[in-house]
Amino acid sequence: MDSTMKMETIGGCEVGAMQKWEDENGNGQMVITELVPYQMIIYDLSFYDGKYTSVGKFMIDPQDEGGFLISWSDEGDLGYNPLHRYYGLMMDSQLGPSFEEGLENLKKVCEAAPPYPDIKITEMEPTPAIVIKTSCSF
């Protein structure tokens, strides 16, 4: 939403993966701290060099009729400062529309993806593997 924002993504969808950003209003980062595929993603969010922090969660619940129900929440400690606590009362009205837009965008991306009816999730025995990680420019 901010044209001056510089964003950096480190890692993929894995514990420790991070998004960092900086704009004219300050900086922040989001780090994945827990990940259970097809069940949940938990992340730590911080702004202004860690001055303000919260924990966010995406809970993924399979539905009987197919598909998934995604619940997105974010919570943090507002401390004892009365102004911060008062501001906390307005968080839903300020951040709620962004959460709704994010969930709606996620729904559009998922529904636009091609169907994969033959894919099955299975566990395999551990085996040695060689992996070469590298990066390239766009």
Q: b/e string for 81-105 if b means 16 or more Cβ within 10 A?
A: eeeeeeeeeeeeeeeeeeeeeeeee
Q: Look at residue 87 in the predicted model and tell me its pLDDT.
A: 79
Helix 91-112 × helix 82-89 angle, to 10°: 50
Model pTM?
Answer: 0.71
Q: Look at residue 20 in the predicted model and tell me its pLDDT.
A: 93
Q: Look at residue 40 in the predicted model and tell me its pLDDT.
A: 94
Per-residue pLDDT of the chain in tens (138 residues, 90 and over written 9): 667 889 899 998 899 999 998 988 788 999 999 999 889 999 999 988 778 888 999 999 988 887 889 999 888 888 888 887 877 787 778 778 888 898 899 889 888 888 766 667 788 888 888 888 777 776
Q: Look at residue 1 in the predicted model and tell me its pLDDT.
A: 60
